[in-house]
Structure 1
Amino acid sequence: MPNPHFSLATIPNRYAFIDKIAHCGKKYKQLSLMLIDVVRFSDVTTSFGIEVGDQFLLKIANRLQGLFNQQMEFGRISGDVFGLVFPGVHSPRALQQQFEFIVEHFKSPMYHDGHAFIADFNVGAVTQFQGDFDLTVFVSRAEAALKQAKQNKYENFYVMSVQGKADTGRSLALKADLQRALARDELELYFQPKVNLQTLEIVGAECLLRWNHPLDGLLFPGPLIEAAESYNMMNELGYWTLDSALRSLVDFALKGVDISVSVNISPTQLYDTRLVENLQAFSRKHNVSLSRLELELTEDTAVSNSLMVHEQMAKLRALGVKIAVDDFGKGYSNLAFIRDLALDALKIDKTFVMQLSNNPVNQAIIEAAKVIGKAKACEVIAEGVETIGQLHVLREIGIVTAQGFLFSKAIPQHEFIRLAHSDIIVGNSPSRQQGDIAG
């Protein structure tokens, strides 16, 4: 196990770490690089000061090093971004498991000078498994993966291969992957429950796409979405998701689960003039009312000054489709547009929920969202609930609906149905009784 650092100054900085990466590239034929960004760490330094922030960064660095006993190199790329290099071949699934291992370990808080902090991460990874090693390409691909991870909604993880875009043949293969995945039914919807915080009953679900890859197993669909965007196939992928979501409502009803489902919709699809007619066709096909469907728009799409977006939203709501603004507060909200939009729900970005105990401003932002929601007569949903303490604070604020790992991660349909019929929702585990959170 590596020796702990007693100062940030002893951790290899960007230049020293890149030298280590170059050395590994010469020594090993296959290796992987993970860049680990501490989410919203600026909130810590703003609230507690730079000295306390540095102590937390030091604790994070030593924890990260201690998690991996195998041969690896560790460094600090920038202020709150660390790097890990692992020699050997690593599949996307293996790297994802390492990411999940890190996240799970850091759910226990760190303490310093009377302050507590629970770290959350964005992680981008790159793999080198064939061809000549190119240091510049290797590092830049890792940084591109980290950028994509920051845009992912829940897992905040993204992995690329060095060959991914440098090789035109691989780019074409991604398109073939998408076409094959759609044709051979390799895609699957997972469902993360939305829970009433007072009754702990499941009242809805968010649909999230997963890819059952024939070689790599279950994957997050990042590469497929990359291919869909590159080859103008986002609508095809989006309509598959909407069709599957409405079909799932039929299956839920047959199993006695009476809920609504929400689906993330891309700006590309929102601009498609066939959106309304296709939704009507899916509704007739499955004999399902569109009032049981909610579409989640990103904040910047919802507040865009686009006449077509506003017209599409009006047509969708006329069909009974509910409209939600996702990740509310994450961007720079134009409250004038929010004021004028007809909405059914505001979903509070998870970073405000996950750091409720660290910064009173986060609670104030959630309280403000609650006030806005009440004035607009729309639901306010909290994302990213992971602890009993967060649940209690949200109850006190008056938030009614939430989702997060405290209740369940996104799970396959059959597991979701079983969970919906379960008496134990919190923690999705028999070891934690509902009496623990009786309010």
Structure 2
Amino acid sequence: MRLRSLESRIVILFLVLILAVQLAGFFAIQTGIQENARAAIRAELMIGERVFKRLVDQYAHNLTQGARLLASDYGFKQAIGSNDRETIESALANHGERIEASHTMLIGLDRTIKATTTATNAASLELSILRLIDRAESNGSATGTGVMENHPYQIVVVPVKAPVTIGWVAMAFAIEKRIAADMRDLSSLQVSILTKTTEGQWIPEASTMSDLEAASLASQLRGIPDDKSFLPQLTIGDSDFSARVLHLAQDSGQQVIVVLQRSISEAVAPYRRLQISLLVLTVIGIMVAVTGSVFVARRITGPLRKLGETARRLGKGDYHGPIEMRRDDEIGELSKAFASMRDGIANRELEIRRLAYWDTLTDLPNRAQFINLLNDAIAEARQKQASCHVLMMDLDRFKHVNDVMGHSFGDALLRRMAERLQAQLQSPTHRIARLGGDEFALLLPQAGEDEARHVAARILKSLEIPISLDDQTVDLGAGIGIAGFPEHGTDAELLLSRAEVAMYAAKTSGNEAVVYAPAIDKSSQESLSLLTELRRAAEENQFRLYVQPKVRLGTGQVIGVEALVRWVHPERGMVFPDQFIPFAEKTGFIRILTQWMLERSAALCSELAAGGIRLRISANLSTRDLLDQDLPMKFMAILDRHSLHPSSFCLEITESAIMDDPVRAQQTLERLHAIGVDLSIDDFGTGYSSLAYLKRLPVHELKIDKSFVLKMESDVDDTKIVRSTIDLGHNMGLKVVAEGIETVAAWELLEKMGCDEGQGYFISRPMPADQLRAWLHAWQPPHFLAEQASLQAGAE
């Protein structure tokens, strides 16, 4: 049984659940046992305290009866009356021995000791007796506990009356191990009697424990406050005890206590047997659970393994294996679902195969199947050192038929065309396929170029007969391209590509059929090569940013630059924009180029601003840029990266770019205007845009095309056009910028006409961006130069 298998996981789950439940129960019972045992011990100690006090009272009662017996003895009274000291001492000694008193004495009415059985008496004992006499006077007798030489004593005082009180009999009994043993017999408690010396040390006087354990108890009591009566945890020897402290007497700094102790281990022992029983039951339960879970897991995983094997067969494409599992539970339902799934997959695979390799409209092989057939034909031709050819055909005017007659008619026409093409095939090895749209392809295995030309001519001849469909007669032509193995390619994709090139050449030239030739494909290869080189130029940073300054014509102040792009090719050298920009526009690469130019222009603007130079950057947008609805968002991201305000840029758009798709262009321009960037109409006057439309655009300036400015000095018509454009721009509230200023005369003429700004070779040719700072320091407008020349002439 593998650890990660479903069977092992089911067994582990059952086992973990059983263990979790049993452990939770075990710890809950353990906690309950501890709490209940300690509560029971505490209650037992409180009962023990009452029992011990009753036992002490009983001892005191017995001692009082013995003392009363002596006090009521007639001979003893006569001896006291006659002051017969010898008789008194003899009576005291005899009665004291009879009741095992350690001290027996007669106290006179003057509170002095008249006779005693001991030679000396401790002052503490005498003091305790005198206090008891005070109590006995009112109560008839008195008992108490005293301390003498660090030993506890129980003291009894009774009066001697004849009939009035003639003295007091006092007896002291040492509290010994016997009372502790009696208490032990009456309960399950350990009893220890300890006295505290004036030095603060506890001395075990009597104990039911061993001397070593009693000494350990005395040492642990040393740091416990005197007012603490319950000790929940004491460790004596190898056992834990709970204890209760009873204060018996305290005299002259000496103190007597009784410590009742109950072993926690003994109290918990009966419950331990219960825990062992539970543990045994837990082990048995785990064994039963493991056995049961293994059985249940195998009942579940066995059928699942069979279904897994069935799934592997289905994965290999075997849809015929039996799925027999006669069960009425969920697994039985799963097996039925597997059988249904198998049948569904088999049917769908057949349908998918049909859709993948057959054209649903004409029931002809599609492009995927045709490529497989062509690869097989190429392999066979290579093996036999023969050739095979492909014909690709595209119908003429089919789009017009679709537009006029509708797609349903077009579909029916394609089906009729497929039937006509199949009728032209004279060999069962020839295969025809529909590649898509109105394109068909024919495979001619083991056929030479002459046979391919003959088949193409026969097909074109058949198309000369109009097709009648739904009372409509349709006259269709076609362009056919031919490519063959091994002359034109060694794989299916290359042969189809070259047959397509030949087909478009046939449609362009009007020839009946065209066989592929490398010269036909030269222009497409050059285009592909240029696009590849453009992509490499972007990746290898071959583009360079150039700028051309723009000045205010009235003052000569440089107020901005126009950003331009140059391509420094590693082999061709400097490539100018007119050599690659149109191609970039056509292929869509212009968007990548625009992003590059905006990014570099923003970096230049930020760098100049950091040096205290504030210039506005003008950059051109193409038609594809205006159709990009995400352009404003991309441009704003560039500005944010370089911490620039949108007013730092002016984006220039040609009239033709706007008119290609006016609606989308206006949407893009309005979004650019909304973020705060200036907009300019570039090359104004060269397009065919409507002024009524242009006035709705959110633009800020017009740029007069340089073709009008270059000849303005000698061509009156150009002068009129420029003046009219300037007036038009101002009337529309726009700034006017002139391109192509190449002479000071053109500058002065534009300034007189009221043109706002200008740029051109007279001001500066386009320069690398890194040379702009030096040019700015060296720039001097023509007014400044004229003033200098005038001053110099006057000086001469």
Task: Please say whether Structure 1 and Structure 2 have the same fold, judged by a TM-score greater than 0.5.
Answer: yes
Matches within 5 A, 1:237-252: 237-252=593-608
Per-residue CA deviations over 1:382-420 (Å, capped at 9, x if unaligned) read 110011111111111111210000000110112222112
Taking a change above 3 Å as real, the CA distance of residues 383 and 236 of structure 1, as seen in their structure-2 partners, is: same
Per-residue CA deviations over 1:186-215 (Å, capped at 9, x if unaligned) read 101100010111221211111111011112
Partner-residue secondary structure (3-state), 2:547:
strand
Cα offset, 1:339, TM superposition: 2.3
2:745 to 368, 372, 389: 389
Give 1:182's aligned residue.
538
Per-residue CA deviations over 1:262-316 (Å, capped at 9, x if unaligned) read 1110010110121011011111111111111111111123356622111111110
Give 1:363's aligned residue.
719
Partners in 2 of 1:437 and 1:380 — Cα distance? 30
Matches within 5 A, 1:135-150: none
Cα offset, 1:355, TM superposition: 1.1
Give 1:292's aligned residue.
648
Give 1:331's aligned amino acid.
Answer: G
Partners in 2 of 1:280 and 1:437 — Cα distance? 47
Q: Is this contact kept in 1: 2:628–2:668, CA < 8 A?
A: no
Partners in 2 of 1:400 and 1:165 — Cα distance? 51
Matches within 5 A, 1:61-76: none
Q: Return the TM-score normalized by structure 1.
A: 0.58
Give 1:324's aligned residue.
680
Taking a change above 3 Å as real, the CA distance of residues 226 and 388 of structure 1, as seen in their structure-2 partners, is: closer
Cα offset, 1:324, TM superposition: 0.5
Structure 1: 4+ residue segments shifted above 6 A: none
Q: Return the TM-score normalized by structure 2.
A: 0.33
Cα offset, 1:426, TM superposition: 5.3
Matches within 5 A, 1:188-267: 188-267=544-623
Give 1:281's aligned amino acid.
Answer: A
Q: Is this contact kept in 2: 1:388–1:437, CA < 8 A?
A: no
How many residue pairs get matched? 272
Partner-residue secondary structure (3-state), 2:548:
strand
CA RMSD, 1 decimal:
2.4
Taking a change above 3 Å as real, the CA distance of residues 437 and 216 of structure 1, as seen in their structure-2 partners, is: farther
Taking a change above 3 Å as real, the CA distance of residues 308 and 412 of structure 1, as seen in their structure-2 partners, is: same
Matches within 5 A, 1:346-425: 346-425=702-781
Structure 2 unmatched ranges of 5 or more: 1-518, 791-796
Taking a change above 3 Å as real, the CA distance of residues 316 and 412 of structure 1, as seen in their structure-2 partners, is: same
Taking a change above 3 Å as real, the CA distance of residues 256 and 347 of structure 1, as seen in their structure-2 partners, is: same
Per-residue CA deviations over 1:225-260 (Å, capped at 9, x if unaligned) read 344335332211111111111111112213332110
Q: Is this contact kept in 2: 1:345–1:378, CA < 8 A?
A: yes
Give 2:785's aligned amino acid.
Answer: Q
Q: Is this contact kept in 1: 2:585–2:622, CA < 8 A?
A: no
Give 2:748's aligned amino acid.
Answer: H
Partners in 2 of 1:231 and 1:365 — Cα distance? 35
Taking a change above 3 Å as real, the CA distance of residues 288 and 390 of structure 1, as seen in their structure-2 partners, is: same
Give 1:50's aligned residue.
none
Deviates more, 1:379-388 or 1:167-176: 167-176
Partners in 1 of 2:789 and 2:696 — Cα distance? 38
Identity between Structure 1 and Structure 2 (%): 30
Partner-residue secondary structure (3-state), 1:281:
helix
Taking a change above 3 Å as real, the CA distance of residues 318 and 165 of structure 1, as seen in their structure-2 partners, is: farther
Cα offset, 1:349, TM superposition: 0.9
Partners in 1 of 2:607 and 2:520 — Cα distance? 38
Give 2:259's aligned residue.
none
Q: Does 1:435 align with 2:435?
A: no
Partners in 2 of 1:309 and 1:355 — Cα distance? 32
Q: Does 1:269 align with 2:625?
A: yes
Taking a change above 3 Å as real, the CA distance of residues 391 and 277 of structure 1, as seen in their structure-2 partners, is: same
Give 2:703's aligned amino acid.
Answer: K
Partners in 2 of 1:290 and 1:223 — Cα distance? 31
Cα offset, 1:366, TM superposition: 1.7
Q: Give the structure with the higher percent helix.
A: 2
Matches within 5 A, 1:168-179: 168-179=524-535
Deviates more, 1:327-336 or 1:178-187: 327-336
Partners in 1 of 2:761 and 2:702 — Cα distance? 19
Q: Looking at CA atoms only, which structure, 1 or 2, has the larger radius of gyration?
A: 2
Partners in 1 of 2:729 and 2:563 — Cα distance? 23
Deviates more, 1:171-180 or 1:392-401: 171-180
Partners in 2 of 1:245 and 1:189 — Cα distance? 8
Give 1:377's aligned amino acid.
Answer: G
Q: Is this contact kept in 1: 2:623–2:660, CA < 8 A?
A: no
Structure 1 unmatched ranges of 5 or more: 1-162
Partners in 2 of 1:223 and 1:384 — Cα distance? 20
Cα offset, 1:217, TM superposition: 2.1
Give 2:735's aligned amino acid.
Answer: E
Q: Is this contact kept in 1: 2:622–2:653, CA < 8 A?
A: yes
Give 2:669's aligned residue.
313
Partner-residue secondary structure (3-state), 2:628:
coil
